[in-house]
Amino acid sequence: MILVDLGLELAFAAFFPAVLVSGFLGGKPAGAFAAVVTLPLVWWAFLPPAFEFSPLGAAACEDIKLFFLGSVLLVYFADLCRDLGSLDSHSYADDGAANPMVAFGAARLSAAATPAATSEDVFRAFKLTI
């Protein structure tokens, strides 16, 4: 695992799936909450000495920095996947008039298939109602 090679302890790495799933299901706030809740949990339960809060050493601070960097990236990409998953391609009209990219593709296909297509056809395909 790349993060372990960078020096991140497995105690923090084990919580990355929780951050990813909570970010994907609940969005940025849930992913950020999971990352923030992980810090005191790992500090108390997994960093030596176990089951007590002790001052953090330099290595533990670096582990926390790497965990939060990875968590920020995971939450961002989970939220990005969430946004992409919410796009509904079936909400557009069957002729593609509501979607300018579909209309552009249809205009390009019709222009390639019939050389008689004029620039008015392309402009008509791009006509958007605001």
Q: Is residue 120 part of a domain?
A: yes
What is the domain count for the chain?
Answer: 2
**Is 98 found in the same domain as 82?**
no
**Is 100 found in the same domain as 36?**
no
Residue among 124, 99, 98 nearest 110 (CA): 124
CB 66 within 8 Å of CB 13: no
Q: Is residue 130 part of a domain?
A: no
Mean pLDDT of the chain: 75
Per-residue pLDDT at 48: 81
Assess whether pLDDT exceeds 50 at residue 19. Answer: yes
**Is 95 found in the same domain as 41?**
no
Which residue type, as a one-letter code, is found at position 42?
V
R_g over Cα of the chain: 25
Whether the pTM exceeds 0.75: the reply is no
**Is 61 found in the same domain as 116?**
no
Q: Is residue 118 part of a domain?
A: yes
Mean pLDDT for 6-29 is 85
Domain that holds residue 95: 89-125
**Is 112 found in the same domain as 60?**
no
